Amino acid sequence: MSGEKNEGGDRSLAEAVADQLREALIAGTFSPGQKLSEQQVAAEYGVSRNTLREAFRFLTSQRLLTYVQNRGVFVATPDAEAVIDIYRVRSVIQRGAVQMATRGHPAFARMHALVLQGREYGASEDWRRVGTINMEFHRAMVSLCDSPRLSSAFDLVLAELRLAFGQLDEGAHLHAPYVSLNENLLTAIESGNAMDAVAELDAYLLKSERGVQAALQRKLSR
């Protein structure tokens, strides 16, 4: 919960609420196409409706929400074209992260912990949680760049990607293969051979993009 601040801090508060809503999108809390009730969301985050509207405007400008006149604010629904661009951006940012990785970087410990968590949730077949762990794994990878700007840009990509996933059946077929593939990718990056690690990343992202696009096509053909 945010808790409403004084008027002088309205803009920074709206940004903080936008950050919290973006994290909720990455975690899969909201569904693509879901209508957001100003009254309910404002009450949940402990802010005024004016502050919430400003947060909604931030997220709309980032393509995570959509405003429909006379209908309200809805969670965005990325299409196949958006998915292509999402993976294009992922490739650029994550290739950079692989190439900039340095031995002993704190992000590696975080990635190892997330691989273990992914195995645990996979064993219990909590595939939605596995999907969230996967998002966090790639977020940790980008932190190898030590760039707050790149990390912020990547958060937007992750939120859009989760909204693409949210249109699909987030079951074993979508998430299970990446439990072991994350471990393989981590091993490749830690090896210090950037060329091999980039090749591993490229294969990973290609497999992931093809899987998402195929699932979207199946959904549309029903």
Same domain, 88 and 153: yes
Same domain, 125 and 209: yes
The CA-based dihedral angle spanning residues 60, 66, 67, 72, taken in that order and rounded to the nearest 10 degrees: -120
Q: CA 14, CA 55: separation in Å to the nearest integer?
A: 5
Q: What is the pTM of this model?
A: 0.88
Domain membership of residue 1 (yes or no) is no
Considering its fold, how many domains does the chain have in total?
2
Domain membership of residue 212 (yes or no) is yes
Q: CA 149, CA 133: separation in Å to the nearest integer?
A: 22
Chain-centroid distance of CA 127 in Å reads 15
Q: In this structure, what CATH number is given to the domain that contains residue 120?
A: 1.20.120.530
Closest to 185 in 3D by CA, of 72, 98, 56: 98
Phi first, then psi: give them for residue 193, nearest 5 degrees: -95, 95
Same domain, 94 and 143: yes
Q: Which of 43, 75, 107 is the last residue of a domain?
A: 75
Q: pLDDT per residue over 79-123, tens digit each? A: 999 999 999 999 999 999 999 999 999 999 999 999 999 999 999
Determine contact, residues 118/130, Cβ cutoff 8 Å: yes
35-48 mean pLDDT: 95
Residue 198 has pLDDT above 50, yes or no: yes
Q: Which of 17, 50, 75 is the last residue of a domain?
A: 75
Look up the domain containing 40 and give its range: 7-75
Domain membership of residue 2 (yes or no) is no
Determine contact, residues 71/33, Cβ cutoff 8 Å: no
